[in-house]
Amino acid sequence: GASGPSGWWDVRHAHDGAAEPVPSGILASVARRDPAWGDPFAALAARVMDEPLSRCGATRVLSVDGRSGSGKSYFANLLATAFGGAPVVHMDDLTPGWDGLETSVEVLLQNVLLPLSVATPVRYRTWDWHQGRWSDEPVELGVPEVLLVEGCGACARAVEHFATMSFWVEAPDEERYRRAVLRDGDAYRLHWDRWAAQEEAHYAREGTRERCTHVVDGLRDWSRESSDWP
């Protein structure tokens, strides 16, 4: 969904496709809230800005993926804030209905990433879930310095080439379901299994978690501004 519930986050590094995320480098400091780094998201933003511009034209793309209710939107918004309010493209806005997960990846490529890769200003239309059609008024994205892309399919193999960093957000199934229904209401209950089947097929084929550069634990709270985070 476009507005995930306040949750629990922990940033860790996915090392060589290991089954368990392992803190490494700067993110080891992030994970233990090392005072030397101050704000962990600001430290991560500084790391991103040190990366060379070689993947998506003049734009550094950060992609955030994970199953429904894992906390992708909230985590992406925290990252966007660290960049001074970088724009966020939500895959929900590119998904034409409850059976459109795979289509959304192609929409992202054709309407956002490929134009940015040649520094062409982006204008894209969003899916109107109430009307069941594409909206009439396009979103004017331009050519941002940093762009967050979040949602199911945001770290598909076809997207990987364009992303400076990629994040997989995960949480237990029971918690994801609770969050999704809390966020979207009873209407989502009718579509949970339908959407989950698409997720299962997509992530099994794409190997998304194993390919992402970072894994985010969706059960830890990064929203607190305390300097004594564990």
The confidence score (pLDDT) of residue 106 equals 97
Residue with the bigger pLDDT between 81 and 30: it is 81
Phi-psi category of residue 119: left, alpha or beta, with phi > 0 → left and psi -120 to 50 → alpha: left
Q: Against a cut of 0.75, is the pTM above it?
A: yes
The confidence score (pLDDT) of residue 225 equals 40
Neighbours of 101 (CB within 10 A): 21
**C-alpha–C-alpha distance, residues 125 and 197, integer Å:** 26
Place of tokens 């109430």: 130
Per residue in 64-108, pLDDT (tens digit) is 999 988 889 888 998 899 999 999 999 999 999 989 999 999 999
pLDDT at residue 215 tops 80: yes
